[in-house]
Amino acid sequence: MVAEIEPSNVESAFLLQALGKGIRVDGRGIHDYRRLRISCGPAAGMAEVHLGQTRVLARVSCEVTRPFPDRATEGIVQFSAELSSLAAPGLEGKTAQEVAIARMVERVIRQSRAVDTEALCILAGEKVWLVRLDLHFLDHDGNLMDAASIAAIAALKHFRRPDVTVDGENAIIHSVRERNPVPLSIHHTPICVSFGFFGGDLVVLDPSLLEEQTQQSSFTVTLNAHREICALNKAGGAPLSPKQIQRCIQIALVKVDEVNEKIQDALKASTA
Amino acid sequence: MADVKVVLPGDVVDTGAAAQEGAVLRLGPGLVQASERTSAAVAGVLHSDGDVWWVAGNRRRYVPAEGEPVVGVVVARHGEGYRVDIGSAHDALLPLLAFEGATKRNKPSLAVGTVVYGRVVVANSFMDPEIECYNSHTGKSEGYGELTGGFMFKCSLGLARRLIGSKAPVLAALGSDLPFEVAIGVNGRVWVSAEGPEKTVLVANAIRNSEYLDAKQCRQMVKELLDR
């Protein structure tokens, strides 16, 4: 595996110098998100998220399968993430970051029970839907986590599975022409908001790639529209005070509302 | 422009009358000669100026070519030189003595992570590229060398080429209002330095924003940034 290219001395020194004065190298404010664009479609369950230069494509598909024996009445939701050298030079093979993102998205969506898995059951113990979510990272300019979570939830909301009728022991799967496909039952929309810490009280929202490479630690808050915390993630780095965490959550609350609105707009635009 | 010709890789390029007279054709970036025919190796717009032909495309991965100025980052130091990341598939070699006035006893010592401005001197498909930070014919630095302070950012190769080519409107517009230094590498890396971080960030953003703007829009955009 080729190691990711470290930022040069000029870049990291300037970044820290500018940040000390409250300036970010891309001209944003400390607590500004980059320009977020979400587009759903053309196919059902496809969502593309642009977060500045970062670009993530999520694709949801489904098939019928046999359930796990210990969860006979629950459908299955699977996640996979692919981070290749397409996104940035130097990325090759299974990177730790790829695994971390896939795991986080999985944790955020599955463990917070965002997707109603019982609604994916067709015949208990016999047939259930397997919903697969593939994340493709097309361009890496930092904060893949947030972009991935937004793309994932938008794609799941946009997805329509074929309708099914159950007649005793038989399940009939209707083609798209016969019956309108049905949306997944989604309880809530967890969204990640990431922060980068640069020591002291220096906190930035939505770190870019350069900021991610220079930061001392990162912190991801996952919230839904009901202002509930679904997950917190802090993998290593410098310690944070409870006060800082509180503050991050306050900021994230505002951002999550904005992101949710954008997802709604994108979904509306794709059906219009 | 009436006759813009877009070529795709593999397209045979009709170099017209110039070739038939047995005159010398000079092929620039993006064109390759295969026996009798000239064909495009990249996607882009075909340009010609007299007997010089080239394709101007826009990509984000750099393929080194001789004589081009590049901005690189030192990634390692070896006995005979530095290994410099210039964004190409293979790192470039920068010999220890390829600096102005460098002698065996007295030569610059660059740390890993240093940003240098150099010129590609060796670029072919069989060897690692090589760069130098001076003009080996005159022995003068001619602006090349280590870049200190300021900020470096990445942009598309198309933008970098336009910046370095004939007067880029964004640089002219910026230059009329504030002093700054800039080193443009055609490998899609631009180093800028102005007074203080605010100005440097402003210059960097103006350059990045100028990618799809014409001269008039550039002046407008720079004005808006300066007024903020």
Residue B181's pLDDT is 93
Residues in chain B closer than 8 A to A24 (CB atoms): 201
Spell out the residues 6+ positions from residue B78 whose beta carbon is closer than 8 angstroms to its own.
Answer: none
Residue A82's pLDDT is 83
Shared-domain flag, residues B139 and B156: no
Test the B interface: residue of A5, A6, A9, A23 with most B CBs within 10 Å: A9
CATH of the domain at A185: 3.30.230.70
> Of B109, B124, B147, which residue sits at a domain end?
B147
Shared-domain flag, residues B39 and B78: no
CATH of the domain at B219: 3.30.1370.10
CB A239 within 8 A of CB A259: no
Average pLDDT estimate for A57-71: 94
Cα–Cα distance between B23 and B53 in angstroms, integer? 13
Is residue A147 left, alpha or beta, with left meaning phi > 0 and alpha meaning psi from -120 to 50?
alpha
Mean pLDDT per 10-residue segment, chain B (228 residues): 80 71 76 84 86 84 90 93 92 93 90 94 92 90 92 92 85 91 94 93 93 90 89
Token pair belonging to A242: 């409870």
Report yes or no on B62 lying in a domain. Answer: no
CB distance A8–B73 less than 8 Å?
yes
pTM score? 0.86
Shared-domain flag, residues B161 and B218: yes
CB B87 within 8 A of CB B187: yes
Shared-domain flag, residues B74 and B17: no
Report yes or no on A135 lying in a domain. Answer: yes
- In whole numbers, what is the pLDDT of chain A averaged over residues? 89
How many distinct structural domains can be found in chain B? 3
Report yes or no on A73 lying in a domain. Answer: yes
Q: Of the candidates B113, B147, B201, which has its C-beta nearest A27's C-beta?
A: B201
Three state DSSP letters for A78-141 = EEEEECCCCCCCCCCCCCHHHHHHHHHHHHHHHHCCCECCHHHEEECCCEEEEEEEEEEEEECC
Report yes or no on B61 lying in a domain. Answer: no
CB distance A26–B205 less than 8 Å?
yes
Type of residue found at A65: T
Residue A13's pLDDT is 93
Test the B interface: residue of A2, A10, A21, A213 with most B CBs within 10 Å: A10
CB distance A9–B114 less than 8 Å?
yes
Cα–Cα distance between A218 and A211 in angstroms, integer? 10
Closest CA to A85 of B201, B26, B61, B157: B61
Chain centre distance of CA B226: 27
Report yes or no on A20 lying in a domain. Answer: no
Residues in chain B closer than 8 A to A5 (CB atoms): 73, 75, 85
Shared-domain flag, residues B39 and B76: no
Report yes or no on B121 lying in a domain. Answer: yes
The Cα-based distances of A153 to A11, A25, A111 in angstroms read 34, 30, 14
Residues in chain B closer than 8 A to A9 (CB atoms): 111, 113-115
The partner residues of A131 in beta bridges, in order of sequence, read: A62, A77
Shared-domain flag, residues B76 and B140: yes
Shared-domain flag, residues B11 and B81: no
Provide the residue range defining the domain that includes B86: 69-147
Test the A interface: residue of B61, B73, B117, B182 with most A CBs within 10 Å: B73
Residues in chain A closer than 8 A to B110 (CB atoms): none
Chain B nearest-CA residue for A20: B197
CB distance B200–A27 less than 8 Å?
no
Report yes or no on B64 lying in a domain. Answer: no
CB A203 within 8 A of CB A237: no
Report yes or no on B223 lying in a domain. Answer: yes
Residue B69's pLDDT is 94
Query: Which residues, numbered 56 to 75 in chain B, qualify as contacts with chain A under a Cβ-Cβ cut-off of 8 Å?
Result: 61, 73, 75
CB B115 within 8 A of CB B149: no
CATH of the domain at B92: 2.40.50.140
CB distance A6–B113 less than 8 Å?
yes
Q: Classify strands B52-56 and B92-95 as parallel, antiparallel or unpaired.
A: unpaired
CB distance A10–B151 less than 8 Å?
yes
Average pLDDT estimate for A142-150: 93
Q: Of the candidates A9, A11, A21, which has its C-beta nearest B197's C-beta?
A: A21
Q: ∠ CA(A64), CA(A70), CA(A73), 5° rounding? A: 50
Show the beta-strand stretches assigned E in B35-114.
Answer: 37-40, 44-49, 52-56, 69-77, 81-85, 92-95
Report yes or no on A8 lying in a domain. Answer: no
Count helices and strands in chain A by DSSP H and E runs: 5, 14
CA atoms within 13 A on the CB side of B62: 30
Chain A nearest-CA residue for B61: A89
CB A146 within 8 A of CB A222: no
Nearest-CA distance B59 → chain A (Å): 13
Chain centre distance of CA A150: 4
> Of B100, B115, B147, which residue sits at a domain end?
B147
Shared-domain flag, residues B158 and B143: no
Residue A2's pLDDT is 42
- Sign, CA dihedral B94-B99-B103-B105, equals negative
Question: Model confidence over A96-135: pLDDT tens digits?
Answer: 778 888 888 988 998 889 999 999 999 998 999 999 999 9
How many distinct structural domains can be found in chain A? 1
Closest CA to B134 of B107, B102, B98, B105: B98
Chain B nearest-CA residue for A6: B113
CB distance B201–A9 less than 8 Å?
no
Average pLDDT estimate for A134-157: 93
Report yes or no on A12 lying in a domain. Answer: no
